[in-house]
Amino acid sequence: MADAARGKPMPHQGIFEPWTDPVAKPLIQFQNVTKRFGDFTAIDDLSIDIFEKEFFALLGPSGCGKTTLMRMLAGFEAPTTGTILLAGDDISPIPPNKRAVNMMFQSYALFPHLSVYDNIAFGLKREGMPKLDIHARVEEMLRLTRLERFARRKPHQISGGQRQRVALARSLAKAPKLLLLDEPLGALDKKLRQDTQFELMDIQEKTGTTFVIVTHDQEEAMTVASRVAVMDEGKLIQVSTPDVLYEDPRSVYVADFIGDVNLIEGKAKPSGDGIDLHWAEGQPVLHCKTAKPFGEGQTCHLAIRPEKIAIHSQEPEARNKLCGKILDIAYLGNISTYHVELPSGHVIKAQSANTRRIARRTFTWDDTVWLSWTDTAGVALER
Amino acid sequence: MRRFSWFNATSLTLGFAFLYLPMLILVIYSFNESRLVTVWAGFSTKWYGELLGNELFLDAAWVTLKVAVISSTIATVLGTMAAYVLVRSGRFSGRTLFSGMIYAPLVMPEVITGLSLLLLFIGIGLDRGVLTIVLAHTTFSMCFVSVVVSSRLISFDRSLEEAALDLGCTPWEAFRLVTLPIIAPAVISGWLLAFTLSLDDLVIASFTAGPSATTLPMRIWSSVRLGVSPEINALSTLLIGIVTLGVISASLVSKRNLMRQQQDEQTAARTA
Amino acid sequence: MARRFLILVPYLWLLALFLVPFLIVLKISLSDPEISIPPYTPTLDWREGWAGFTDFLSQLDFENFIFLTEDDLYWKAYLSSLQIAGISTVLTLLVGFPIAYGMARAAPDWRPTLLMLVILPFWTSFLIRVYSWIGILANEGYLNQFLLGIGVISDPLTILNTQTAVYIGIVYTYLPFMVLPIYSALEKMDDSLLEAGEDLGCSRLSAFWLITVPLSKAGIIAGCFLVFIPTLGEFVIPSLLGGSETLMIGKVLWEEFFNNRDWPVASAVAVILLLILIIPIILFQRNEQKQREAEGQ
């Protein structure tokens, strides 16, 4: 997880952060968009800006409205209220077939009666592009997605990974201003998915197209995206770069949704540069550095990632430390997660890298151990 | 396989014997020399000769073919439209009535359909003939077509149409270039079903035909009411032969397509 | 615009050629009986507007329906149609179930061929399939020749032009309608269910009763309705194979219309037949709906 938590590298442009630039003009603007289906509110008064050349991920559990948001961009749904602007123009009156937006469907939606070549050429033919130009463009797309050998095959004659690339090539062929990807890797197995994620990033950089991807896989969103929007029940919960999302979540929901986390609930008491957390009878007070103002006795959640908790056999010198007994060990190869039960009954997860072979491991079941972390390892959250 | 016992073998043998023996006997006795159809008097093809020389039958066959081709073609167009409306149009006022009118003719006794159409044609003063039979056949067979096509449309992946729109098609282009080629097998079977229903129909045609047009089933009917005749046996054999050829070749084609598809999928899995 | 066109064309077609004709039948069934061709009184005069319409309504009456109840030919024909349809449905089930069962248990390679063999007669002319039994069942027909030949009987059996011939004809022509839904229900059934049943102590027979039959229930019900509903209005089979004692309402309607030329009474017969049919049709629709819902889950 920690590995996936880094920001997306943008080597050619220095730091790519148009969302911090006050004069940058967004490519897409959702302005107070609400979408209702009967009594059900799929999107609830949502506003968001997406910038050119971004790789933007919409992340959330199924039914959170992320697919509806994407279908409104493609033109298959119209907002009930609010406006969507593409490059400054309201796109609601434009039907899907006239929008400079293309979509890659979750099911790929490859036309089964057409060859790979004709699938990719389909949109270009509709534009009335001259034949030679179509040929050149399709060849270019085939090269980009390494499908040259399969041009004459029908969709059922190629593998799942190849189909995924045909779908991508087809939606990129018209060089859209914006490409929408609906769970593009959902149908692939795990290994292929990881390879394809890097391929997608590569293609996005080469073509300079703005990508909006919908996914329920947080690891995928963190890997590919420049910014991730976490959604729940039709609302935006947090929009940030992947590292901020992981290291500085604004809510318990985001902290819990992205990666693994320990959540300790207690009462805050301002102290020095942060707060002291009183959380359980007979347990030491925990200290957390924070700039957020907490009132005396206010409920506070301390969110702390397992890999930021160190585990010791003897009592360490540290600001925050807890003593407990090892309940369970989950051995994952590169790392192990220790579930440590405190005398209060709470279970805290701590992770350590397995730098030694298993025979020489230090801890085992029922050992009494000490857990420690620094003032800045955790995040204090109001809710 | 474990449960395929002698019981199953017997019931299948008897069942298929029951289904096919009557037709087989018909075919065999169509080559009987004697006019007394139940007494075998040697092999002959003379009844086929008589049949082909019989103007009445040939005329009726021509009328039937004409009616069947025209009515099944119109029925396929209308039925496909109706299926599209049923599956895709969501709610519109009168939808319940519409789907009721699609399904009702499927179970409506032919005598009632025939009677009601006849009363309509007389009421509006339309002369009965080929046109009225075509109208009648189109009406009931379009419902069968729409059932066949809509069952295909229900399983049709809608994102294919959306992809076509997304790539710049108008809704009509999306239908013509994407939906229609994919549902074509269902549309063709709908047409074949409509065609067969029209070829086969006696009751509705009898009500709506009037004196100026006689279809083959009507001609057969007036002949078999008098009992078994060798010409009818010959005619039946021809019809059975055509249908058998059609059904067998259709199933061979679909089997070959299926096998080719399976092969392709295996190759795809290997080259992945 | 395109959508409206798409809806309107088949809609108007069906309104004009299905619903309107049916309303005409209803109107004529309520008109004065008269042995001739239309127009029947009362006629609706549009020029008189609403008054004309109420006047028209007030002149309609149930004379023809009352006539149907007075002549016992009609209600006997309805009852006998129901009886014949019911008995032949049961017979078709008895013949059809073992065939469907045998098909579902056959080797998977064979199933498409068997399926094709069941469907093939369905594409063949209905009239010819009924006709083929005349030669078999006649007094001097193939069946009697065969039975006399092997010495089972000494005098020819009279089968043609009896109720028995009608049952044979119906079972024969409607068999595919029974076999196909039962087969599709049985084919979906997982063999391991029967193995689980036996594992839990069922005998083969009780596994059949407790597992196979309940799981094919929807198919059996669908098959029964698909045979029962069209048989009720059947005309060709009773006319060709039945005798003078075979009373079926489809035949009565035909004769009323073509032989007696009494159109108002024929219309009334049709209206009542339809009223009788509504119940099984609604039950059938409900069964289908339930099955779709079960499959949707």
Domains and CATH numbers, chain C: 68-296 (1.10.3720.10)
Token pair for B139: 């009406």
Question: For C1-10, b where at least 16 C-beta lie within 10 A, e where not — what string?
Answer: eeeeebbeeb
Given a cut of 50, the residues of chain A with pLDDT beneath it are: 1-13
- The CA–CA distances, whole Å, from C60 to A119, B10, B81 equal 64, 59, 38
Given a cut of 70, the residues of chain B with pLDDT beneath it are: 1-4, 269-272
Choose from B152, B166, B259, B261 for mutation: most chain A CBs within 10 A. B166
Could you report the per-residue pLDDT of B94-124, keeping only the tens digit for each? 888 898 899 888 888 899 999 999 989 988 8
Contact list in C for residue B37 (CB cut-off 8 A) is: 135
Asked if A37 is an interface residue toward chain B (Cβ–Cβ < 8 A), one would say no
Do A233 and A264 fall within a single domain?
no
What local confidence, expressed as pLDDT, does residue C37 receive?
55
Answer yes or no: is A134 within a domain: no
Choose from C4, C7, C143, C170 for mutation: most chain B CBs within 10 A. C7
Do A329 and A209 fall within a single domain?
no
DSSP string covering C117-130: HHHHHHHS-HHHHH
The single-letter code of the amino acid at C153 is I
Q: What is the ipTM of this complex?
A: 0.88
Contact predicate B114/C256, CB 8 Å: no
**Is B38 in Cβ contact with C138 (below 8 Å)?**
yes
The alpha carbon of residue B163 is apart from the nearest alpha carbon of chain A, in Å, by 6
In chain B, residues 56-95 whose CB comes closer than 8 Å to chain C: 78-79, 81-82, 84-85, 89, 92, 94
Asked if B221 is an interface residue toward chain C (Cβ–Cβ < 8 A), one would say yes
- Full 3-state SS string of chain A: CCHHHCCCCCHHHCCCCHHHCCCCCCCEEEEEEEEEECCEEEEEEEEEEECCCCEEEEECCCCCCHHHHHHHHHCCCCCCEEEEEECCEECCCCCHHHCCEEEECCCCCCCCCCCHHHHHHHHHHHHCCCHHHHHHHHHHHHHHCCCHHHCCCCHHHCCHHHHHHHHHHHHHHCCCCEEEEECCCCCCCHHHHHHHHHHHHHHHHHHCCEEEEEECCHHHHHHHCCEEEEEECCEEEEEECHHHHHHCCCCHHHHHHCCCCEEEEEEEEEECCEEEEECCCCCCCEEEECCCCCCCCCEEEEEECHHHCEEECCCCCCCEEEEEEEEEEEECCCEEEEEEECCCCCEEEEEEECCCCHHHCCCCCCCEEEEEECCCCCEEECC
Token pair for A298: 């206010």
- The CA–CA distances, whole Å, from B269 to A191, B264, B272, C158 equal 16, 9, 5, 65
The alpha carbon of residue A162 is apart from the nearest alpha carbon of chain B, in Å, by 8
Do A294 and A346 fall within a single domain?
yes
Is the pTM higher than 0.90? The answer reads no
Within 10 angstroms of residue A48's Cβ, the number of other Cβ atoms is 19
Please tell me which of the candidates A75, A109, A161 has its beta carbon nearest to residue B157.
Answer: A109
| Distance, C-alpha A64 to centroid of its chain | 14
Contact list in A for residue B169 (CB cut-off 8 A) is: 97, 126
The alpha carbon of residue B151 is apart from the nearest alpha carbon of chain C, in Å, by 12
Do A182 and A275 fall within a single domain?
no
How many pairs of residues across B and C have Cβ atoms under 8 Å apart?
A: 232
Alpha helices (H) in chain C, listed in sequence order: 2-14, 20-29, 49-59, 63-70, 72-105, 111-123, 126-137, 142-150, 163-188, 191-199, 204-207, 213-215, 217-232, 236-241, 249-258, 263-296
Asked if B243 is an interface residue toward chain C (Cβ–Cβ < 8 A), one would say yes
The alpha carbon of residue B178 is apart from the nearest alpha carbon of chain A, in Å, by 7
Length of chain B: 272
Q: Which of A255, A286, A302 is the endpoint of a domain?
A: A255
Classify C282 as helix, strand or coil. helix
Cα–Cα distance, B92 to C80 (Å, whole number): 42
Answer yes or no: is A51 within a domain: yes
Please tell me which of the candidates B160, B261, B272 has its beta carbon nearest to residue A109.
Answer: B160
Cα–Cα distance, C82 to C229 (Å, whole number): 10
Answer yes or no: is A150 within a domain: no
Picking from A179, A184, A216, the residue whose alpha carbon sits closest to that of residue A197 is A184
CA dihedral C73, C74, C75, C76 (to 10 degrees): 40
Contact list in C for residue B84 (CB cut-off 8 A) is: 6
Asked if B11 is an interface residue toward chain C (Cβ–Cβ < 8 A), one would say yes
The alpha carbon of residue A127 is apart from the nearest alpha carbon of chain B, in Å, by 7
Length of chain A: 383
Do A234 and A323 fall within a single domain?
no
Answer yes or no: is A165 within a domain: no
Picking from C21, C212, C6, the residue whose alpha carbon sits closest to that of residue B89 is C6
**Is B168 in Cβ contact with A127 (below 8 Å)?**
yes
Within 10 angstroms of residue A31's Cβ, the number of other Cβ atoms is 16
Choose from B167, B172, B178, B262 for mutation: most chain A CBs within 10 A. B167
Asked if A187 is an interface residue toward chain B (Cβ–Cβ < 8 A), one would say no
Within 10 angstroms of residue A204's Cβ, the number of other Cβ atoms is 23
The count of domains in chain A is 2
Choose from C15, C37, C94, C120 for mutation: most chain B CBs within 10 A. C120
- The CA–CA distances, whole Å, from C286 to B102, C89, C221 equal 17, 19, 11
Handedness of CA A251, A257, A261, A262 (dihedral sign): positive
In chain B, residues 175-194 whose CB comes closer than 8 Å to chain C: none
Choose from A68, A70, A105 for mutation: most chain B CBs within 10 A. A105
**Is B224 in Cβ contact with C175 (below 8 Å)?**
no
How many pairs of residues across A and B have Cβ atoms under 8 Å apart?
A: 80
Do A281 and A196 fall within a single domain?
no
Asked if B122 is an interface residue toward chain C (Cβ–Cβ < 8 A), one would say yes
Q: Measured at the alpha carbon of residue B56, what is the angle toward residues B52 and B58, in degrees to the nearest 5?
A: 45
Contact predicate C121/B17, CB 8 Å: no
Token pair for B231: 């010409």
What local confidence, expressed as pLDDT, does residue B131 receive?
94
Contact list in A for residue B168 (CB cut-off 8 A) is: 97-98, 123, 126-127, 174
DSSP state of C209: I
Nearest CA in chain B to C227: B107
What local confidence, expressed as pLDDT, does residue C39 receive?
55
Nearest CA in chain B to C16: B120
Asked if A365 is an interface residue toward chain B (Cβ–Cβ < 8 A), one would say no
Whole domain around residue A18: which residue ranges?
3-100+176-255
Do A187 and A75 fall within a single domain?
yes
Q: Which of A206, A238, A255 is the endpoint of a domain?
A: A255
Element (H, E) at B69: helix B55-88
**Is B261 in Cβ contact with A105 (below 8 Å)?**
no
Do A249 and A308 fall within a single domain?
no
How far the first Cα of chain C sits from its last, in Å, is 36
Do A196 and A274 fall within a single domain?
no
- The CA–CA distances, whole Å, from C228 to A69, B123, C234, C283 equal 51, 33, 10, 12
Asked if B241 is an interface residue toward chain A (Cβ–Cβ < 8 A), one would say no
Residue C49, Cβ density class (10 Å: 0-12 exposed, 13-18 middle, ≥19 buried): exposed
What local confidence, expressed as pLDDT, does residue B138 receive?
97
Choose from C25, C117, C132, C278 for mutation: most chain B CBs within 10 A. C132
Nearest CA in chain B to A156: B265
CATH number at residue A288: 2.40.50.140
Choose from A156, A192, A214 for mutation: most chain B CBs within 10 A. A156
Asked if A6 is an interface residue toward chain B (Cβ–Cβ < 8 A), one would say no
- Full 3-state SS string of C51-105: HHHHHHHHHCCCHHHHHHHHCHHHHHHHHHHHHHHHHHHHHHHHHHHHHHHHHHH
Given a cut of 50, the residues of chain C with pLDDT beneath it are: 297
What local confidence, expressed as pLDDT, does residue C52 receive?
64
Q: Which of A255, A279, A299 is the endpoint of a domain?
A: A255
Cα–Cα distance, B107 to B109 (Å, whole number): 6
Chains B and C lie in contact, requiring 3 or more CB pairs less than 8 Å apart: yes
Q: In what order do the strands lie in the sheet with A320-331?
A: A310-312, A368-373, A320-331, A335-341, A347-353
- Full 3-state SS string of B139-173: HHHHHHHHHHHHHHHHCCCHHHHHHHHHCCCCHHH
Cα–Cα distance, B107 to B204 (Å, whole number): 14
State phi, psi for A258 to the nearest 5 degrees.
Answer: -95, 110
Residue appearing with tokens 């014949």: C84
Contact predicate C38/B122, CB 8 Å: yes
Classify B189 as helix, strand or coil. helix
Do A220 and A310 fall within a single domain?
no
What local confidence, expressed as pLDDT, does residue A360 receive?
61
Contacts of C254-257 spanning 24+ positions with Cβ under 8 A = C254/B111, C254/B203, C257/B115, C257/B207
Q: Measured at the alpha carbon of residue C118, what is the angle toward residues C113 and C122, in degrees to the nearest 5?
A: 130
Please tell me which of the candidates B82, B109, B123 has its beta carbon nearest to residue C233.
Answer: B109
Answer yes or no: is A207 within a domain: yes
Nearest CA in chain C to B225: C240
Asked if A127 is an interface residue toward chain B (Cβ–Cβ < 8 A), one would say yes
**Helices A160-173 and A190-207, packing angle to 10 deg:** 20
Answer yes or no: is A154 within a domain: no
Cα–Cα distance, C128 to C236 (Å, whole number): 11
Asked if B6 is an interface residue toward chain C (Cβ–Cβ < 8 A), one would say no
Contact list in C for residue B221 (CB cut-off 8 A) is: 127, 236
Residue appearing with tokens 């051995």: A331
Do A214 and A231 fall within a single domain?
yes
**Is B170 in Cβ contact with A109 (below 8 Å)?**
no
Answer yes or no: is A362 within a domain: yes
The single-letter code of the amino acid at B240 is I
**Is C18 in Cβ contact with B101 (below 8 Å)?**
yes
Length of chain C: 297
Do A335 and A244 fall within a single domain?
no
Cα–Cα distance, A172 to C293 (Å, whole number): 40
Contact predicate A198/A209, CB 8 Å: no
**Is B261 in Cβ contact with A161 (below 8 Å)?**
no
Classify B176 as helix, strand or coil. helix
Within 10 angstroms of residue C176's Cβ, the number of other Cβ atoms is 23
Cα–Cα distance, B202 to B214 (Å, whole number): 10
Give the pairing of strands A262-271 and A40-50: unpaired
Q: Radius of gyration over alpha carbons of chain A, in Å?
A: 25
Cα–Cα distance, A190 to A160 (Å, whole number): 13
CATH number at residue A25: 3.40.50.300
Q: Please name the chains neighbouring A, where neighbouring means 3+ C-beta pairs under 8 angstroms.
A: B
**Is B163 in Cβ contact with A111 (below 8 Å)?**
yes
Answer yes or no: is A230 within a domain: yes
